[in-house]
Amino acid sequence: MDVGDPIQRMTTQESHHHTRLLVQAAAQACEDKKGLDTRILELDPVDAGLSDFFLITSATNDRQAVAIADEVEHRLKKEYGVMPNSVEGRKQGDWILLDYFDFVVHVFLSERRAFYDIERLRKSARPLTPAEFDAELTAALAARTRSARDKASAKKAAAPKKATAAPRKAAKKAAAKVLAARTPSAKAPAKKAAVKQTAQKTTAAAKPKAKKARARS
């Protein structure tokens, strides 16, 4: 896996989930090639080093061991575009190791597995069968799906509140205009008063002229 691979740039949670998918596919490849007593060890982060999981399976002979290793390598390359960082023991066939950084696949002949007894050496690791591992992965995926749906629902619920804010403002402005149109303006009485004053002045000025005209006649 190259340093620039997109997998390396994933967040820790996404990377761990992706690793689990790879381990699941590798375990299925072992099962399909009739691997015996397949186990997944979830390693303790304190003493695991760079790897999170060990996938261990057994073969009855070296030809089957090579076939299992080949199937794991082929499937992960085909389905995920991932190649092992290193492969050891393929020529001998009694213990084949495929190192994928975040997890390591061990394909043993049965007697070799009993001799090295990796499961006993990794006492702090949590052993899982492929079925148990699949169940945990399914539950984790369901939890992520629920979380994503809850976030989407929360966003949808918040969206109408923002959308209704603008219509409310527009309604308030319209109501204010209607109220202003119905309310008599203060300028109207002032205009009427001014007209009355002008009329009164005009009448007052006209009365002396009328008197003079009568006197002459």
Does residue 19 fall inside a structural domain?
yes
**φ and ψ of 137, to 5 deg:** -65, -40
Does residue 50 fall inside a structural domain?
yes
Q: How far apart are CA 146 and CA 152, in angstroms?
A: 10
Does residue 94 fall inside a structural domain?
yes
Does residue 215 fall inside a structural domain?
no
User: In the prediction, which pLDDT does 155 show?
Assistant: 78
User: In the prediction, which pLDDT does 6 show?
Assistant: 47
User: In the prediction, which pLDDT does 157 show?
Assistant: 76
User: In the prediction, which pLDDT does 127 show?
Assistant: 93
Does residue 44 fall inside a structural domain?
yes
User: In the prediction, which pLDDT does 202 show?
Assistant: 61
- Whether 34 and 43 have beta carbons less than 8 Å apart is answered as no
> Which residue pairs, CB below 8 angstroms and at least 24 apart, start in 33-36?
33/64, 33/67, 33/68, 33/71, 34/64, 35/59, 35/68, 35/107, 36/60, 36/110
Does residue 160 fall inside a structural domain?
no
**Nearest C-alpha neighbor of 86 from the set 64, 71, 67, 104:** 104
Does residue 155 fall inside a structural domain?
no
Rounded to two decimals, what is the model's pTM?
Answer: 0.63
Please give the tally of structural domains in the chain.
Answer: 1
CA distances for 167 relative to 110, 119, 156, 160, 183, angstroms: 75, 67, 18, 11, 24
pLDDT 10s per residue in the chain (217 long)? Answer: 444 454 444 467 788 899 999 999 999 999 999 999 999 999 988 766 779 999 999 999 999 999 999 999 999 999 999 999 999 999 999 999 999 999 999 999 999 999 999 999 888 899 999 999 999 888 887 887 877 777 777 777 776 655 555 667 776 777 777 666 665 555 555 555 665 666 566 666 655 655 555 555 5
User: In the prediction, which pLDDT does 4 show?
Assistant: 43
Three-state secondary structure readout of the chain: CCCCCHHHHCCHHHHHHHHHHHHHHHHHHHHHCCCEEEEEEECCCCCCCCCCEEEEEEECCHHHHHHHHHHHHHHHHHHHCCCCCEEECCCCCCEEEEECCCEEEEEEEHHHHHHHCHHHHCCCCEEECHHHHHHHHHHHHHHHHHHHHHHHHHHHHHHHHHHHHHHHHHHHHHHHHHHHHHCCCCHHHHHHHHHHHHHHHHHHHHHHHHHHHHHHC
User: In the prediction, which pLDDT does 48 show?
Assistant: 63
Containing structural domain, residue 124: 6-128
Does residue 134 fall inside a structural domain?
no
- Whether 6 and 105 have beta carbons less than 8 Å apart is answered as no
User: In the prediction, which pLDDT does 93 show?
Assistant: 95
CATH number at residue 92: 3.30.460.10
